[in-house]
Structure 1
Amino acid sequence: MLAGCNLAPKYIRPLGAVPVDLPNGGVYPVAPSDAPDLTRIGWRDFFTDPRLRTTIETGLANNRDLRIAAGNVLQARALYRVQRADLLPSLNATGGATTTNNVQGTGGAGAGTGTGGGVATGGSSHLEIYQLGLGVSAFEVDLFGRVRNLSRAAQEQYFASEEAQRATRISLIAEIATAWLTMASDQEQLKLSRQTLGAFAETRRLTSAQFRIGVASELEARQADTNYQSARNDIAALQTQVAQDQNALNLLVGTTVPADQLPDGLGSGNATLDALPGNVSSELLLRRPDVLQAEHQLIAENANIGAARAAFFPNISLTATLGTLSTALSGLFGGGSFTYSAGPSLSLPIFDAGRNKGNLDYARASQQVALATYEKAIQTAFREVADALAQRGTIDEQVAAQTARAGSAQVAARLSDARYRAGVDSFLVSLDAQRTAYAAQQALVTTRLARASNLIAVYRTLGGGLQ
């Protein structure tokens, strides 16, 4: 009955850290009834661009953070095996030979044998003893669950490290995809800047020619040059940014990404499935690896409380040996050489200057820290999902508005240029229309990147990417 004691508090999953339902209505989208469960869609199906899928596969094989997480799992598993071994006795084989002097100085021609004594013959003053044994040394009889709770704590830490590895994997997939799309967006911006530079260069050439023959003013020539130099600056900055994007992508992947796997532009940003998540509730957050990691750590701290409580109760240990003992090597397995010993011991703490009480207080405080950490993990997950869904509800409208704005700005730039050439509008109006069209196209690329990144964020925050 005593061996069945467990002084750890009963674990009950904390509730109430977040509302039961995720936000809905207003900016939050309403998923159709047949919307897929994104957490059950493997990342190879979610990401539709083959170059991006290949890049992610390379990253999963080479990323150093993921290797560190895998190593942490192996460390935690090994520590769990070490701690679990204390539940069973360690059986050791021993053997020895001892030579000592005969303190009684027995002499004469007689001889004597025995299992617990020695032999001295012919006036010899030396005694030889040989022994072999099999025994258990200081095995703790776990009456109050101290060893079991320590083993449970090590097991939960092992489980927590596994969840940490899963969380690292999900984050890595999302980070690689986001970095890949960011590079694609900057390359798209670079293409746009180069095209715009060509248009600005032509305007600058014509205006400079008109200024030389006195048709245009120096102000107009300088303003045209301003637009041209601004586009030059954008190209130089974007070339640097693309190179830095590739460096960031190489670091995430863990090796140099081949040129045929790199993006050449963002396009419409359709590198992932375009689907709203279905059946979303706060219960889904409890299955996220980072939340499960925090929960396993909380259970481990519960078990540590049980181990700290058990330290106040008696500790019973057992040392036992079974073997053979003889004064002659040839007599180790002869009759009368069998020997055994058993030595149970009991230790009861009486005065330890508050050491056990301090350990118990520390275990309880650690449990409270783990509880707050678990609740914060849930709240953080709730906030991440809510933020991603809030943007998901309006991002399509933003893309549509920016697309219409860019189209209108381009038409306005063409009309303004035609009116300027016809002498209807001033050159300032034409230049302003060109700058507006350029800015609108840049904003459209940025908004498309935001939409693609948001789809990845929804997928990641819901815990997708494990399959």
Structure 2
Amino acid sequence: MKAQITKSTSGVRAMQAGLSVIMVAVLSACVNYAGIHSDQQMAEPQQFQTTQSLPAESGHWPAPDWADQFGDAQLKALIDEALKDSPSIAQARARIAGAQAYADTAKASTLPRVDASYSLTRQQFSGTSEIPPPYAGTWQTQNSALLSLSYDLDLWGKNRETLKAAVSQVQASEADAEVVKLTLTTAVARTYNQLARLYVLHDIAQQEVERREQIDRITAGRIATGLDTQVERKTAQANLASARSALAALDGSILTTRYQLAALLGEGPDRGLAIARPALGVGDEVRLPDNLPADLVSRRPDIVAARWRVDAITHEVKEAKAEFYPDINLSAAIGLDSFGFGRFLTAASRTANAGPAIHLPIFDAGELRAQLRGRYADFDDAVATYNQTLIGALSGVATQLAQIRSSDVQLGDAQVAQQAAREADDLAVTQYKGGLTNQLTVLNADMNTLQADQAVANLLMDRRDQQIALASALGGGYVDTSSDAPRSAALAAPSNSVAAR
């Protein structure tokens, strides 16, 4: 009895010693990431000074159909066609599907796993090995069927953090898809506006050809009366040829712009030939919405995507920290195992096992610490990318607004100059017909009119292009409808949330 008690006491002490070793190892593993952290903070839009450059004007955020403000049904149809058929949209959808598949894979790791297997092996066993008679030295058929169950307890949340990171990446991919849509619709609208510009410039160039033809005819008449010489006639003919060359160049630009639109639609170049001349209107009054900097973070898909990536990296950091703790997996299996077929389905062939498996990192030559530092580096990069995206978004809105206001001022002066240039041109032609002035005066007046007409046309088209760009800079009608929890947590103190575990 005393020997049994002594033996029992020795066993308890051995278990205690073993547990102590495990606890020490666990504690050592838990503190291995001490000193690894990040001080990066996600910027808040309110911390930037924007009251002067982005004044509250009680305007409205762009609607998803913001292009309708220009009153051109063809533009709306082209945008819808692009969103339906463009390969870039298909690429974005494929990236979302890939991210979702990865999230589904990560979710599977948080659930129990059940597997079934069967094997049949025909084998000759050694007569001098561990297999005893009567099977030693004989051929036998071994049948084995096994149903197994395994489950990772995930005590430290590693698998859960992996899943959360994957879900955040899905959200980022969806926001990226919205970036692609916005980029595509903006490109279609701006290229379409460029086509409208070229048509207006083409009209001006056609009028210039007609004016140069008129000057050539007047010059021919003046030569007949002795008022001009062949020098003036050749000058008039050279200017007429130059005007026709400029007109032909615009024809080529119109054609290439049509091809560009066809490519944006995801079609061949012939599709561009069917696009009619644009009929774009002025558009709505430009006024910025109130509370712009704060609300912009949920209306710009690129900012939303950057925010979700910070959230994903945050969970990846927590996952990397959980690697320092022991993994505990539960497993169980039941099945049949026998030599030959005759006894395979009998109760005597039953086999079963169950038990935990513990994996504890004790010494890994710094691998886990290096992995954690890498995750923190990714976190710093994601935060910096978010901050830069936010700054770029605010700057983009302010830049487009400033350009629109400048174009409005320039347009008023340019229209006054245009009117004066046209009146001077008409007067110079009249005087030239009557022999009261020379050809040089007429050509100078004509050139001033041409430049004034082109300036007004370009300012009108620039102003509309800037208005399109402003709608895009304000998010193009996008609104983040995902959960606010990741946003509030990340914006509040991302580095603290990462370093807390």
Normalised TM-score (structure 2): 0.79
In structure 1, the residue matched to 2:396 is 384
In structure 1, the residue matched to 2:171 is 159
For residues 305-356 of structure 1, what are the alpha-carbon distances to aligned partners after superposition, in whole Å with 9 as ceiling and x for unaligned? Answer: 1122122222223332122344564554544444311242222222222211
In structure 1, the residue matched to 2:222 is 210
The 5 A counterparts of 1:34-433 are: 35-38=59-62, 40-43=63-66, 45-100=68-123, 125-136=138-149, 139-211=151-223, 213-256=225-268, 258=271, 262-264=275-277, 269-270=280-281, 272-287=283-298, 288-327=300-339, 329=341, 331-433=343-445
For residues 369-416 of structure 1, what are the alpha-carbon distances to aligned partners after superposition, in whole Å with 9 as ceiling and x for unaligned? Answer: 111000000001011111111122233333333233222211221112
In structure 1, the residue matched to 2:18 is none
Find the aligned partners of 2:88 and 2:75 in 1 and give their Cα distance.
20
Judge conservation of contact 1:118–1:327 (CA < 8 Å) in 2: no
SS of the residue aligned with 1:87?
Answer: coil
Judge conservation of contact 2:152–2:329 (CA < 8 Å) in 1: yes
Find the aligned partners of 1:44 and 1:444 in 2 and give their Cα distance.
23
Shift in Å, 1:148: 1.9
Count of residue correspondences: 443
For residues 70-117 of structure 1, what are the alpha-carbon distances to aligned partners after superposition, in whole Å with 9 as ceiling and x for unaligned? Answer: 111111111221222111232111123345557689xxxxxxxxxxx9
Given the superposition, is the C-alpha separation of residues 211 and 281 from structure 1 closer, same or farther in structure 2, using an over 3 Å criterion?
Answer: same
Give me the identity figure in percent.
24
Find the aligned partners of 1:29 and 1:395 in 2 and give their Cα distance.
18
For residues 106-152 of structure 1, what are the alpha-carbon distances to aligned partners after superposition, in whole Å with 9 as ceiling and x for unaligned? Answer: xxxxxxxxxxx99969x994544433221035x43312222222222
Structure 1: gaps of 5 or more residues: 106-116
Find the aligned partners of 1:36 and 1:64 in 2 and give their Cα distance.
32
Given the superposition, is the C-alpha separation of residues 19 and 436 from structure 1 closer, same or farther in structure 2, using an over 3 Å criterion?
Answer: farther
Q: What amino acid is aligned across from residue 279 of structure 1 in structure 2? A: D
Find the aligned partners of 1:119 and 1:339 in 2 and give their Cα distance.
22
Find the aligned partners of 2:125 and 2:187 in 1 and give their Cα distance.
78
Given the superposition, is the C-alpha separation of residues 148 and 315 from structure 1 closer, same or farther in structure 2, using an over 3 Å criterion?
Answer: same
Find the aligned partners of 2:364 and 2:224 in 1 and give their Cα distance.
99
Given the superposition, is the C-alpha separation of residues 152 and 224 from structure 1 closer, same or farther in structure 2, using an over 3 Å criterion?
Answer: same
Q: What amino acid is aligned across from residue 161 of structure 1 in structure 2? A: S
Judge conservation of contact 1:20–1:283 (CA < 8 Å) in 2: no
Find the aligned partners of 1:214 and 1:10 in 2 and give their Cα distance.
89
Q: Which moved more, 1:292-301 or 1:372-381?
A: 292-301
Find the aligned partners of 1:16 and 1:433 in 2 and give their Cα distance.
56
SS of the residue aligned with 2:353?
Answer: strand
Given the superposition, is the C-alpha separation of residues 237 and 45 from structure 1 closer, same or farther in structure 2, using an over 3 Å criterion?
Answer: closer
Structure 2: gaps of 5 or more residues: 1-25, 480-501
SS of the residue aligned with 1:276?
Answer: coil
Given the superposition, is the C-alpha separation of residues 120 and 273 from structure 1 closer, same or farther in structure 2, using an over 3 Å criterion?
Answer: farther
In structure 1, the residue matched to 2:4 is none
Given the superposition, is the C-alpha separation of residues 68 and 452 from structure 1 closer, same or farther in structure 2, using an over 3 Å criterion?
Answer: same
Judge conservation of contact 1:29–1:390 (CA < 8 Å) in 2: no
Q: Which moved more, 1:396-405 or 1:189-198?
A: 396-405
Aligned counterpart for 2:52 among listed residues 24, 29, 41: 24
Judge conservation of contact 1:51–1:260 (CA < 8 Å) in 2: no
Given the superposition, is the C-alpha separation of residues 260 and 54 from structure 1 closer, same or farther in structure 2, using an over 3 Å criterion?
Answer: farther
Judge conservation of contact 2:127–2:137 (CA < 8 Å) in 1: no
SS of the residue aligned with 1:132?
Answer: strand
Given the superposition, is the C-alpha separation of residues 372 and 10 from structure 1 closer, same or farther in structure 2, using an over 3 Å criterion?
Answer: closer
Judge conservation of contact 1:188–1:265 (CA < 8 Å) in 2: no
Given the superposition, is the C-alpha separation of residues 411 and 67 from structure 1 closer, same or farther in structure 2, using an over 3 Å criterion?
Answer: same
Find the aligned partners of 2:254 and 2:158 in 1 and give their Cα distance.
58
Shift in Å, 1:286: 0.6
In structure 2, the residue matched to 1:114 is none
Shift in Å, 1:19: 4.2
Find the aligned partners of 2:439 and 2:185 in 1 and give their Cα distance.
50
Given the superposition, is the C-alpha separation of residues 271 and 49 from structure 1 closer, same or farther in structure 2, using an over 3 Å criterion?
Answer: farther
Shift in Å, 1:425: 3.3
Find the aligned partners of 2:118 and 2:193 in 1 and give their Cα distance.
68
CA RMSD of aligned residues (A): 3.2
Given the superposition, is the C-alpha separation of residues 85 and 464 from structure 1 closer, same or farther in structure 2, using an over 3 Å criterion?
Answer: same
Normalised TM-score (structure 1): 0.85
Judge conservation of contact 1:118–1:127 (CA < 8 Å) in 2: no
Q: What amino acid is aligned across from residue 149 of structure 2 in structure 1? A: V
Given the superposition, is the C-alpha separation of residues 133 and 293 from structure 1 closer, same or farther in structure 2, using an over 3 Å criterion?
Answer: same
Find the aligned partners of 1:84 and 1:388 in 2 and give their Cα distance.
44
SS of the residue aligned with 1:15?
Answer: coil
Q: Which moved more, 1:447-456 or 1:217-226?
A: 217-226
Q: What amino acid is aligned across from residue 42 of structure 2 in structure 1? A: P
Given the superposition, is the C-alpha separation of residues 169 and 13 from structure 1 closer, same or farther in structure 2, using an over 3 Å criterion?
Answer: farther
Find the aligned partners of 2:455 and 2:104 in 1 and give their Cα distance.
56
Judge conservation of contact 1:18–1:382 (CA < 8 Å) in 2: no
SS of the residue aligned with 1:403?
Answer: helix
Find the aligned partners of 1:346 and 1:246 in 2 and give their Cα distance.
66
Q: What amino acid is aligned across from residue 290 of structure 2 in structure 1? A: N
Find the aligned partners of 1:23 and 1:196 in 2 and give their Cα distance.
46
Find the aligned partners of 2:272 and 2:137 in 1 and give their Cα distance.
88
Find the aligned partners of 1:355 and 1:449 in 2 and give their Cα distance.
59
